[in-house]
Amino acid sequence: MTGAELFFKAESFQRMGAFKFRGAYNALSQFTPEQRKAGVITFSSGNHAQAIALSARLLGMRAVIVMPKDAPVVKVEATRGYGGEVVFFDRYTEDREAIGRKLAEEHGLTLIPPYDHPHVMAGQGTAAKELIEEVGQLDVLLAPLGGGGLLSGCATAARALNPACKIFGVEPEAGNDGQQSFRKGEIVHIDTPKTLADGAQTQHLGNYTFAVIRELVDGIVTVSDAELVSAMQFFASRMKAVVEPTGCLAAAAVLNGKVDVRGKRVGVILEMSDARYLNAPQLRPPAGHYSHAVCANGFVFVAGQIPVTPTGEKLVDAPFETQVRQVLSNLDAVLAAAGTDRSRLVQVRVYVTDMESHWPAFDALYSAWIGELRPARAVVPVPTLHYGLAVEIEATAVAG
């Protein structure tokens, strides 16, 4: 698919399931006794919040976390579960850094930002250090980019251990402040971007992180939300792994050809997440014997739906229009079982064996089924499908 040898650094196996623990623990472990007694404060949309809360608990100190009120509920509850005291703010109208500084001053807390801190950056860089030490020299390394803590840390480690490696940061298309800053040679500020990659909804790089990125990184590329969803769907359906949007940025860049990696050894920093699997026994009937879905991070990833009756006892193999109706019916049932519906679809991938004769019929039936909704749709012509069938559909929807 990519023509490259890919090595994924799956940071979901880190403590609390994210690379953020590296930087948080490294920073807090260097506190003075006085700082530990007073406690720590930070601001974060999720993973850094959990990392600080857990690190503080392990080191026996108080942790106050400033989080956006629209942060994923699972991340808020996890932060509280680790012992963090959560203070909410509106990310679109309030300045989280100002709130953090004010609370730090009022309560004598030490502020540890999510990325723009030397100890945080150094901790994050151990992800690249471990990857290179384990798999050997790389030609290319890609890391997600939000505020720059992970990328700057990984770039520092990679340059020391693997000097010839090309290093790229990947950020959401809607929030390309890093790319703009890299091109202009100065930090560019933007409005809070609206993107699925909630961990990369930063408005600018940090002073420390930008200085390192400008010196050590070879380039910054972007991916759209649709490309993110496509990559997440790939991991869910092909690799049975659920990757969160921000943690999928680097992988999405590789899978969508944003960097030429053909014939190269490529390291990719990846972050997966907890998931709820809906398999055949849970879904039949009415969803169908071969129907599977994965629910994670507010999304439902539906595996390929084929024209099979709900009991799985009979394939609907003719005519083509009947196959399409059965597939769409199965898709509706799986979405319902997952607590959502077609109105919340964000991407549909269609596999068809005979585009010339079958596509007009499919397009007409699909258009009537989907109505005025227009989720991103990819059409993939294929020579054959399982059991000699003519159509199969994968889909991604926002959870209900």
142: part of which helix (H) or strand (E)?
A: strand 140-144
* C-alpha distances in Å from residue 323, one per residue of 244, 358, 386, 387: 33, 11, 13, 13
Crossing angle of helices 149-161 and 118-135, rounded to 10°? 50
Please give the pLDDT value at position 312. Answer: 57
Mean pLDDT, rounded, for 87-97 = 88
Please give the pLDDT value at position 275. Answer: 58
- Domain spanning 5-15+121-270, CATH class: alpha beta
Q: Where are the alpha helices (DSSP H) in 166-247?
A: 177-184, 207-216, 225-238
Task: Write out the two tokens for 191.
Answer: 């409005």
pLDDT over 70 at 313, yes or no: no
Domain-wise residue ranges, the chain = 5-15+121-270, 19-111, 276-398
Phi, psi for 166 (deg, rounded to 5): -85, 130
- In tens, the pLDDT along 142-166 reads 999 999 999 999 999 999 999 999 9
Task: Write out the two tokens for 4.
Answer: 């490259």
pLDDT over 60 at 286, yes or no: no
19-111 against 276-398: fold identical? no
Contact in structure between 299 and 244 (CB atoms under 8 Å)? no
d(CA 154, CA 162): 11
* C-alpha distances in Å from residue 122, one per residue of 25, 290, 341: 11, 47, 44
Pairing relationship of beta strands 299-305 and 391-398 according to DSSP bridges: antiparallel
| Number of helical (H) and strand (E) elements in the chain, helices listed first | 14, 15
d(CA 286, CA 72): 30
- In tens, the pLDDT along 2-56 reads 899 999 999 988 888 789 999 999 999 999 999 999 999 999 877 899 999 999 9
Please give the pLDDT value at position 284. Answer: 52
Please give the pLDDT value at position 307. Answer: 86
- Domain spanning 276-398, CATH class: alpha beta
Mean pLDDT, rounded, for 163-189 = 98
* C-alpha distances in Å from residue 26, one per residue of 74, 172, 270, 312: 25, 27, 20, 53
Mean pLDDT, the chain, rounded, equals 90
Fold of 19-111: Rossmann fold (3.40.50)
Higher pLDDT, 70 or 148: 148
Please name the amino acid found at residue 340.
T
Contact in structure between 129 and 234 (CB atoms under 8 Å)? no
For residue 373, name the pLDDT band (cuts at 50, 70, 90). confident
pLDDT over 70 at 289, yes or no: no
- In tens, the pLDDT along 318-355 reads 799 999 999 999 899 888 878 889 999 999 999 999 99
Phi, psi for 168 (deg, rounded to 5): -130, 140
